[in-house]
Chain A
Amino acid sequence: MHLLNLIRRSAFNLIAPKMTKCGLFLTVPSKISTCGTLRMIYLNKNISKNANENIDLDEWKSVVLSGLEKEAFEKRSPEEEPNIAAIKEYIDMSRRLGKPVPENITEEQLKRLIEYPSVSSRNRYLAFLFSKEMKKNADKEKKKKQQEEREELRKTMENEELIPKSRLFRAIWDSSMDVTYNWKAAQAMSFGQPLIFDMDYNDMSERELQNTVKQMMECEGANRKAVEPFHLYYCNFKEDGPYHKEFLKRYGDAWDNLFVTVTEKSYVELFPRDQIVYLTADSPTVMETFDHNKIYIIGSLVDKTIRKGVSLARAKRLKLATAQLPLERYFNWKTGAKVLTLDQMIMILITLKNTGNWKEALEFVPKRKHEGFLDPSLQQFIHKQKNRKISEQNFKKKLLVEELSKKRLWNGLWEE
């Protein structure tokens, strides 16, 4: 036995790299006997060379196949189309490989999956569903934990005697907060400065549209909570269009009670053209200050694939003034597009409206995109470089004005 092993091992070393024929080394099946403990002692002394003597390398096949006979094969319901069943099976197998695919998939999602035209797009969709599922499960677990904690709290509370405390106010509930916000929003509807969302972007993919609507909801919420809200207009809004459907899906009955003006008309019909400023990152002009008499437009567009100059083209067509935020002036820009999300935009505008302080307003630009605020001295330096001529002219003007005012003063003094 030992001899055979020796011969086999030496032969093994010769033929191993070639491996042309299988079944050359028919191993003698033998169970690891009690000398295993002995071998373990050897192992501890780092003599593991002899360890492969008694390993039966083909044992796993018999184990797997014997396991097969035991388990009965579950069959899918025959009602399903063979194609869909096969794809479900396929997803199941991918999950076993540890790929990011969801555990459960609905018929609707399956149909959408089949519509995707390539492997990569399908995999991306599956990964998206997977992450959604993971989030759901995590949320469920969190809720369970919270419930348990609450139960414990209640038990401890029950043990203590509750003494009624005297209070000045009763607890402020969310509903009363809502009422206050709504009053303010209603006030804004009648006296507030208009802020327009241009809803005329119809060539978005479904996912982009969903993101847009989600961001618009964030905007509306942020605006409602502001000290002095804008009067929001949703212009070019098509009744029963894709936007409308998505809004109804998300807001439900609340859609009709929103304090915003939704209109099919264009902003050009509602307001004088010279007051309108279209905000777009591609604009050649930079916004210096926030003007309370102007009407700003934000294009409600999410472009995952950056489509340059779409909103600028729209403004050009209608001959409107455009402006971009002075991001380069205030930031040392690091990475990422200078296109901000809708909710970031509205937060910046609200802060500008209420304080007029750029530094405070631009806090809402994501921190990952820049390397901090530029310090004023350097800012002036760059500014000077850019606008040296303008500043020189202004300086001369200032001198003139000062001289004139001095003259006037003297004249006035003399006259007196």
Chain B
Amino acid sequence: MGFFLPKRNWVLQTLTFLPVSAKQNFPAMCRCFTSITSCRWAESTDPKAFHPEIKRKDDNIRKKKAGKDRFPPKPFIAFVAGSSKMRAMDNTNNSVANDSFSPLKIVSPPDTPLSAKEWEKLKEEYHHFKKFEDVMFDSMINHHSPVDVAKSLLVAVAKRDGDVEYSYLVKYLAICVFHKDIGEIYDVYNIMKAKYKSLEASAYSLLIKGLSDSPHWKETLVLLEKVKKVSFHSRQNYGDCIEGALLNQERNLAFELFHELVAEKLTPALTTIKLFFDFCQSVKDDHVKNKCIDILYYLRENQIYPDESLMLSIKQWFESIPGENWKGNLTTMSKSRQCCSCGHLLEDINLNEEEFINVKEKIKRDVIEGTDIFRNTSPQELERFQTFVNKHPPFDVVIDGLNVAKTTLLSPSSKTLLDVVDYLAQKYHRLLVLGRRHMLKNSFQWKKRDMDEMQKKADFFFTDNASKDDPFLLYAAFHSGGHCMMVTRDLLRDHKAVLSDSVTRRLFFKWQRGHQMVVSSYLPGKILTFEDALPYDTIVQTDGNTWHIPYDDNLSNRVSYEIPMKWLCLQKK
């Protein structure tokens, strides 16, 4: 949108200075307008939408121009938190978010309580709504109206109907919970208890949330049991119960609830974990301390990274432990395995023997063969590949030929691949390039000369054109052993998703971080840089006297296949 604003101004200016004679240009002008507001109709008037070929050419021309202007290409970063978000920002087609026309925006709640008659009048004003009260309550929740205003509407409804509907009660309860009006919440709770035998999920969670920091907090445990009977437990409900227990110094109960929550295979919210560290500060009890350490181990086992506020809580908790004198620093890690602030060696990213074999087997079983071996390849081809791999000694680098070749459109594919192979051949001993059969045909993109030159420096394996090459890439890398690297820009998410269990997925991701090299930027004949794999594992880790905890800062939006880059380093002095 912001990109288009100047354009729009320009259009407006030109329109205002348009002479009357320029009538032929008018449709074109209109087209400019329509392309600003991205609606379907506008898409159909866009000439490029009709001519995909022309579009591609345009892009090529633009890219070529960019090459002439010698802008270095934006580096491709694989696993750093927030990089995929940046890429998405680059790739979006400046689409305008359409404002949905919601009734909640039309109806604005009054700011003082009204009498029943005044409510009637208001209702007549909004007579086109089917259920005025529903809409009104919803907009009150949206605007966070004071409790008394909502109450006055309830009075009006009760006077008119002699009863209050359940849905109004729940919405009123939501307003009370937002304002933490405990007396009201308890009254509504009692009315609901008297009126209905059981409630549904939203009312239960509202009540649990509302009662957790009140004298009636024990009731929340009863409510939690009730939820379990008819529906599924949610981590939010558990979190509220835990909060209630901790507020009332019932630490053991809170830990019990936490274990229950983990046993239900729910992942606790980070705010819930934060509560423990906040409420267990300066406690001299070894039992409580060990329980908190257990939570840190839980984070480690499940690859959960704290956010900034939780990280600060953890830091404070450590520093508040009496008689241990912990000191916390915030650092970033260098490319080496050493922590910048204390020089401690971080954990190695390589998998151990057992894990490595496990992942290798799973890749063969799930990724290559899958439910139907013919989907990715064929048995003959698999056999051909296995004999090929067994004949050759282990490789040092496995290259995804097609992926690397398509990094840029500025040069023919074979030239790009040749540059990368040349570069890697200087550093590594044995290279394997995986490709498809069509690369062998001499064409503009795949020049026979380049291919022949590459064959001298690397081994090649070509799959059928209808097969997938990524599974073979993975298998070749695993077959060569723990030292083998692979080169591809592909984030391999689809193959990770096929793996059958979450433990293997996690191990695979760990291996990928440690063994995937990415061609981060390439300009033919000028620039060729690689993003090297990380030597250390990004995970909560300890050796007794130090803790290293990676965390997400508030600025970068990390997605699931990225890892945080900032660390909390804790030392015992």
Contacts and interface: CB of A to CB of B under 8 A. Distances in A.
Contact of B147 (A19, A96, A317): A19
A381 B53 contact: yes
B51 A312 contact: no
B374 A19 contact: no
A332 B50 contact: yes
Contact of B201 (A22, A23, A119): A119
Interface stretch (A50-58, A129-137, A400-408): A50-58
A60 B151 contact: yes
Contact of B44 (A39, A86, A371): A371
A21 B194 CA distance: 24
B330 interface: no
B65 interface: no
B497 to A, nearest CB: 12
B100 to A, nearest CB: 19
A317 B191 contact: no
Nearest to A48: B118
B230 A90 contact: yes
A51 B118 contact: yes
Contacts of B49: 332, 371
Contacts of B203: 93
Contacts of B198: 86, 89-90, 93
A57 B158 contact: no
A43 B200 contact: no
Interface string A101-138: 00000000000000000110010000000000000000
B200 A93 contact: yes
B191 A65 contact: yes
Contacts of B199: 93
A59 B158 contact: yes
Nearest to B464: A316
A49 B112 contact: yes
A57 B50 contact: no
A51 B163 contact: no
A61 B375 contact: no
Given A48-B112, A86-B230, A317 B183 contact: no
Given A23-B183, A57-B148, A86-B198, A309 B155 contact: no
A171 interface: no
Interface string B152-191: 1011011100111111001000000001111110010001
B159 A59 contact: yes
B18 to A, nearest CB: 31
Contacts of A43: 118, 121
A68 B53 contact: no
B394 interface: no
Given A22-B182, A313-B375, A385-B53, A51 B200 contact: no
Contacts of A172: none
**Best-buried of B146, B154, B200 by chain A (most CB within 10 Å):** B200
A11 interface: no
B105 interface: no
Nearest to B186: A22
Given A55-B113, A90-B231, A22 B181 contact: yes
Nearest to A89: B198
A96 B199 CA distance: 10
A287 B187 CA distance: 71
A93 B196 CA distance: 9
Contacts of B90: none
A241 interface: no
A119 B155 contact: no
Contact of A61 (B116, B152, B187, B371): B187
A67 B112 CA distance: 28
B117 A40 contact: yes
Interface in A295-318: 308-310, 312-314, 316-317
Contacts of A97: 166-167, 170, 200, 202
Contacts of B154: 60
Nearest to A317: B374
B134 interface: yes
B252 interface: no
B244 to A, nearest CB: 17
B74 interface: no
B443 to A, nearest CB: 10
B297 to A, nearest CB: 28
Given A98-B167, A332-B49, A59 B155 contact: yes
A284 B167 contact: no
Contacts of B195: 64, 68
A393 B49 CA distance: 31
Contacts of A23: 183
Nearest to A90: B230
B162 A67 contact: yes
B147 A86 contact: no
Contacts of A382: 52-53
Contact of A378 (B50, B116, B134, B187): B50
A83 interface: yes
Contact of B163 (A48, A63, A309, A312): A63
Contacts of B158: 59-60, 63-64
Contacts of B183: 21-23
B378 A316 contact: yes
Given A48-B114, A60-B155, A93-B199, A119 B374 contact: no
A63 B162 contact: yes
B12 to A, nearest CB: 30
B438 to A, nearest CB: 11
A258 interface: no
B197 interface: yes
A51 B229 contact: no
Contact of A90 (B166, B187, B200): B200
A308 B372 CA distance: 11
A284 B375 CA distance: 13
B446 to A, nearest CB: 15
A94 interface: yes
A64 B51 contact: no
Nearest to A381: B53
B94 interface: no
Contacts of A36: 115, 117
A32 interface: yes
Interface in B99-156: 112-118, 121, 134, 146-148, 151-152, 154-155
Given A89-B230, A90-B231, A96-B166, A378 B181 contact: no
B466 interface: yes
A313 B378 CA distance: 9
B329 interface: no
A89 B197 CA distance: 8
Interface of A: 16, 19-23, 32, 36, 39-40, 43, 48-49, 51-52, 54-61, 63-65, 67-68, 73, 83, 86-87, 89-90, 93-94, 96-99, 118-119, 122, 203, 284, 308-310, 312-314, 316-317, 332, 371, 378, 381-382, 385
A-B pairs, top 6 by smallest CB distance, nearest first, are A22-B183, A313-B374, A60-B158, A63-B158, A93-B200, A96-B166
22 contacts: A22-B181, A43-B121, A51-B114, A55-B115, A55-B152, A57-B113, A57-B151, A60-B154, A61-B191, A64-B163, A89-B197, A90-B198, A94-B200, A96-B165, A96-B167, A97-B166, A118-B232, A310-B372, A313-B375, A317-B374, A371-B44, A381-B53
Interface of B: 44, 49-53, 112-118, 121, 134, 146-148, 151-152, 154-155, 157-159, 162-167, 170, 179-184, 187, 191, 194-203, 229-232, 234, 371-375, 378, 465-466
Given A59-B158, A94-B200, 9 more contacts: A19-B180, A22-B181, A36-B117, A52-B112, A60-B154, A60-B157, A63-B163, A64-B195, A378-B50
